Amino acid sequence: MELLTELGTFLYHTGIDGIPPADREAAKGRILDTVSCAAAGRDLPASQAVLKMVKAFPGNCTVVGQRDGVAMLEAALANAVMAHSTSQDDLMAGITHPGSVVVPAALAVAEHEGSSGAEVLVAVVLGYDVILRLLRATGRVSNPAFRPGTVFTAFGAAAAAGKLMKLDQVELGNTLGYAASLAPGMPNEGWWGGTMEPLLEMGMTSRTGIISALCARAGATAAPHTLEGRHGFFRCWSGTDGNPEEIVKGLGKQFAISRTFIKPFATCGANQVPVQIASTLAVHQLKAADIVKVVEKLRPGAGDYAGLDHKGPFISHPQALMSMQFCAAAAILGRPLDTPGFITRHYDDPEVSDLAAKVELVSETGRSLPGFEIHTKDGRVLTAEMSEFDRSIHVSSTEGMQNKLRRLGQACLGKNEIEKIIDLVMQLEEIDDIGKLKGCLTG
């Protein structure tokens, strides 16, 4: 059986009874997390640009923090850009951000189709699951100019959208075929430029997932071997035949959504553990002027992704949150990176920039976790190493996601509306129309 057929069959036959309670709970956490990030990112430059765009397409779908509704595709676009703009969205397999793509697509389609809360939960769980299966089946992408986060999350948005549109199993397979063919993902130069392309790409990916489902519903067909064919998706992105068996391994037995991590710091995923380790050095209360150099020791290849090895100058917050040098310097100086506020407002902090220029990235064979050496002007060498890091701060919990929404969303949504959102999301199985969230999400 072709892989698209197998996936389409799985998506078609999986309902709320096939989703274990723990995975339903995880899906609620992912929805709260995405709303938190979208609310926190509403006023950032990329978000404001996309909000201007979507106002030209009025409709009945909700954009977080906006009174006026827009069309379905534009709602997904805007909410995805806003959610990704803070870089505190969730993380799968270290390279994709499923929440910023799948959740906006699911909410937009659900509003348009009048879906129930239970149907939304199923769609979100399945969207996440398809992403991880494609990641494992494809393997490492062959060119660093490709952006895996947008290439693969298009499948998740497509799966969620198709499920909510109640497509049949053939149409769902075709939906995934179009996600493979239409996915954005290159070039990856925007991180170096400090410009807005990486943020808008996530919105276009969410939108592409929905368009893929619309194409299939309209009768458009996709090649049956789109994934595993000799010129298919695996060959296109990895340059190999991939690991197609990973697509169907354990289908319906264990869902990826419960193995998705949150980002405790408002930085690129590659900087999460380095910041966690470097922040232990803040106890020394050093100033940039006290330091000759900082050596950041990394496993081979850890600093190769676009935008990571950048000492400055920094012209925007996306450029700063990607930079390993900036994030290490900010952590050592004790700057608050646990919410988006510092980097979005102080990406040009002169002392952090001064220290970032002194950070040297060094690759060490055999190393797994990052390590740091600070060489001070008075001759000391201060080190930070961990044999194990605290994984608990990277693991989602219901209480943690509720508190994150309270912390990040209050300025945009208001305290009372946040509590209503939490109550509604926590009882999604019982809600007959997802449109009941609309009034709360607009603030």
Confidence of residue 443 (pLDDT cuts 50, 70, 90): confident
Question: Could you tell me the CA-to-CA distances from 400 to 25, 90, 279, 291, 394 in Å, in that order?
Answer: 12, 13, 21, 36, 11
Q: Which of 113, 86, 210 is nearest to 156 (CA)?
A: 210
Confidence of residue 94 (pLDDT cuts 50, 70, 90): confident
Instruction: Return the beta strands (E) in 380-438 as ranges.
Output: 381-384
Q: Answer whether residue 98 shows pLDDT above 90.
A: yes
> CATH classification of 269-390 is 3.40.50.300, yes or no?
no
Q: What is the pLDDT at residue 53?
A: 97
Between the CA atoms of 393, 394, 399 and 405, what dihedral angle is there, to the nearest 10 degrees?
110
Secondary structure letter of residue 239 according to DSSP: S
Q: Answer whether residue 184 shows pLDDT above 80.
A: no
- Residues 270-290 have pLDDT tens digits of 999 999 999 999 999 999 999
Confidence of residue 144 (pLDDT cuts 50, 70, 90): confident
Q: Answer whether residue 31 shows pLDDT above 90.
A: yes
Q: Answer whether residue 186 shows pLDDT above 80.
A: no
Q: What is the pLDDT at residue 365?
A: 96
Between the CA atoms of 46, 51, 56 and 57, what dihedral angle is there, to the nearest 10 degrees?
110
Mean pLDDT value across residues 227-245 = 95
Return the amino acid letter for 263: K
CB count within 10 Å of CB 338 equals 15
Q: What is the pLDDT at residue 388?
A: 85
Q: What is the pLDDT at residue 185?
A: 72
Q: What is the pLDDT at residue 28?
A: 98
How many Å apart are CA 5 and CA 173, to the nearest integer?
Answer: 5
Helix ranges restricted to H, 165-196: 169-182, 190-193
Q: What is the pLDDT at residue 143?
A: 84
For helices 148-164 and 117-138, angle between their N-to-C axes, nearest 10 degrees:
140
Between the CA atoms of 326, 328, 332 and 334, what dihedral angle is there, to the nearest 10 degrees?
60
Confidence of residue 66 (pLDDT cuts 50, 70, 90): very high
Q: What is the pLDDT at residue 407?
A: 96
Confidence of residue 383 (pLDDT cuts 50, 70, 90): very high
- With a pLDDT cut of 70, the percent of the chain lying above it is 100
Q: What is the pLDDT at residue 74?
A: 98
User: What mean pLDDT value characterizes the chain?
Assistant: 96
How many Å apart are CA 213 and CA 34, to the nearest integer?
Answer: 22
Q: Which CATH code fits 3-262+395-441?
A: 1.10.4100.10
Confidence of residue 258 (pLDDT cuts 50, 70, 90): very high
Q: Answer whether residue 146 shows pLDDT above 90.
A: no
How many Å apart are CA 56 and CA 51, to the nearest integer?
Answer: 9
Q: What is the pLDDT at residue 350?
A: 98
Mean pLDDT value across residues 165-170 = 98
- Paired with 44 in beta bridges are none
Q: What is the pLDDT at residue 235?
A: 95
Confidence of residue 7 (pLDDT cuts 50, 70, 90): very high
Confidence of residue 145 (pLDDT cuts 50, 70, 90): confident
Is residue 30 within 8 Å of 99, Cβ to Cβ? yes
Please, which residues have CB within 8 angstroms of residue 106's CB and are 6 or more apart in sequence?
120, 123, 124, 127, 157, 160, 161, 164
Confidence of residue 397 (pLDDT cuts 50, 70, 90): very high
User: Which regions of the chain carry the CATH code 3.30.1330.120?
Assistant: 269-390
Confidence of residue 390 (pLDDT cuts 50, 70, 90): confident
User: Which regions of the chain carry the CATH code 1.10.4100.10?
Assistant: 3-262+395-441
pTM of the model: 0.96
